[in-house]
Amino acid sequence: MGKRISLTQYLIEQQRMHGHIPAQLRLLIEVVARACKRIAISVNKGALGDVLGSAGTENVQGEVQKKLDVICNEVLIEANEWGGHLAAMASEEMDGIYVVPNRFPQGEYLLLFDPLDGSSNIDVNVSIGTIFSVLKKPDDHAGVSEQDFLQPGSKQAAAGYCIYGPQTTLVLTVGDGVAMFTLDREQGSWVLTQDGVTIPEDTKEFAINMSNMRHWAPPVRRYIDECLAGKDGPRGKDFNMRWVASMVADVHRILTRGGIFMYPWDKREPDKPGKLRLMYEANPMSFIVEQAGGAATNGQQRILDIQPSKLHERVSVILGSKNEVERVTAYHREAGGA
């Protein structure tokens, strides 16, 4: 490996070249990255750090919280509230927004996060992650409210995730491509290990929870049936399947070698647009995937164009290699909705 570039150096050089990472945004990204380092340490300790198992509480979405869901949420709030870069935060694990307390200066940005993605994998020692999204607070009024967060994903100033796996990797976009940083534990620093990440346009690998097959809409069923038919089917090639059940891990694989990820609407709860959350999961991941040359839709439209109507809104997600995402989206269009 040649000269090592740290996260700080990367952010400063990007600002010098393109002017799109003002000081508050840089501080924000560095603080989130530092919080992820702390989370990585807790994740690593596992049973020794008493971080496994249930917290015995439920979040606003009725999901049982794991100890780590709660710990990671606290770590991210504590790390971010005092720096002067934020006006407020919102999290999958909190009912409403968290306004930066009056004793700290108010900043220009809004931070949204899924503090711990892949909760079902914590106790079984499989990769998990933290996902975050950054918006600018509209500057036409004083104070901050939930309404300020309800901006389409195309307005994100930055987005990223950290994956706690065999390696701890931070993946970041500020709207000018995607960069990956690997945590050097001895030095305690994030080192740039890949820049200009690109997702191949075609793939032979899909990720979907097949146990829900009987509940899917016809366009999703059609796409997967055609993949399963392999060489002898209409696609003329064999497909492989992967499902980690941590969106971060599935998306990370897609950024590394291509693929398509789907958590589509299904008829178990027809009024629910999907399982995944628009603001904490779908928007940041869609921003990253598009910045790497991939695509992301809900079957009808680009995810980043969706105008959210509430903080904890859910959405159907189809993302990854461009040509496959376009195919599934076309199947939805041909079916006239669904």
Return residues touching Mn ion (CB under 5 A).
92, 114, 116-117
Tokens at 144, concatenated: 């901050």
**Cβ distance to ligand AHG smaller for residue 121 or 151:** 121
By rule CB under 6 A, what count of residues binds ligand AHG?
12
120 touches, from ligand AHG, Mn ion, none (C-beta below 5 to 8 Å by class): ligand AHG
For residue 321, the partner it binds in ligand AHG, Mn ion, none, with Cβ less than 5 to 8 A by kind, is none
* Closer CB to Mn ion, 66 or 322, in the complex: 66
Where in 228-287 is the site for ligand AHG (CB under 6 A)? 245-247, 263, 275
Supply the minimum distance, in Å, between the C-beta of residue 243 and ligand AHG. 7
Residue count of the chain: 338
119 binding ligand AHG? (CB under 6 A)? yes
Is the CB of 246 or the CB of 298 nearer to ligand AHG? Answer: 246
Residue 83, CA distances (Å) to 10, 29, 31, 129, 142 in order = 20, 11, 8, 23, 19
Separation between Cα atoms, residue 94 and residue 76, nearest integer Å: 12
Least Å from the CB of residue 18 to ligand AHG? 32
Under DSSP, the state recorded for 146 is H
Q: Do 28 and 109 contact (CB within 8 A), yes or no?
A: yes
What are the C-alpha distances in Å from 288 to residues 107, 133, 223, 294, 327?
24, 10, 24, 9, 20
Q: Among residues 40, 104, 95, which one has the least CA distance to residue 72? A: 40
Please identify, among the stretches 28-36, 114-122, 284-292, 318-326, the one whose residues bind ligand AHG according to the rule CB under 6 A.
114-122
| Nearest distance from C-beta of residue 308 to ligand AHG, angstroms | 18
* 27 vs 90: CA distance, rounded Å: 18
| Residue 114 or 338 with smaller CB distance to Mn ion | 114
Q: How far is the CB of 106 from ligand AHG (least distance, A)?
A: 28
Rounded to an integer, what distance in angstroms lies between the CA atom of residue 299 and that of residue 326? 9
Q: Is the dihedral of CA 292, 296, 301, 305 positive or negative?
A: negative
Is 205 within 8 Å of 213 (Cβ atoms)? no
The option from Mn ion, ligand AHG, none interacting with 5 (CB < 5 to 8 A, set by class) reads none
Q: Does 209 bind ligand AHG (CB under 6 A)?
A: yes
**Residue 170 — left, alpha, or beta (φ > 0 → left; ψ -120 to 50 → alpha)?**
beta
The site map against ligand AHG for 71-110 (x = CB under 6 A) is ---------------------x------------------
Say whether 4 sits in a helix, a strand or coil.
coil
Do residues 254 and 260 touch, judged by C-beta distance below 8 A? yes
List phi, psi (to 5°) of 144: -145, 140
- Of 158, 118, 167, nearest to 135 by C-alpha is 158
CB 133 → ligand AHG: shortest distance, Å?
14
The 288-327 contact track toward ligand AHG, x by CB under 6 A, reads ----------------------------------------
Nearer to ligand AHG, 127 or 203 (CB): 127
Residue 246 touches which of Mn ion, ligand AHG, none (Cβ within 5-8 Å per kind) = ligand AHG
The one among 10, 32, 79, 117 contacting ligand AHG by CB under 6 A: 117
Q: Is 315 helix (H, G, I), strand (E, B) or coil?
A: strand
What is the smallest separation between the CB atom of 24 and ligand AHG, expressed in angstroms? 27
> C-beta of 119: minimal distance to Mn ion in Å?
6
127 lies in the site for ligand AHG, by CB under 6 A: no
Contact positions toward ligand AHG, by CB under 6 A?
A: 92, 114, 117-120, 209, 245-247, 263, 275
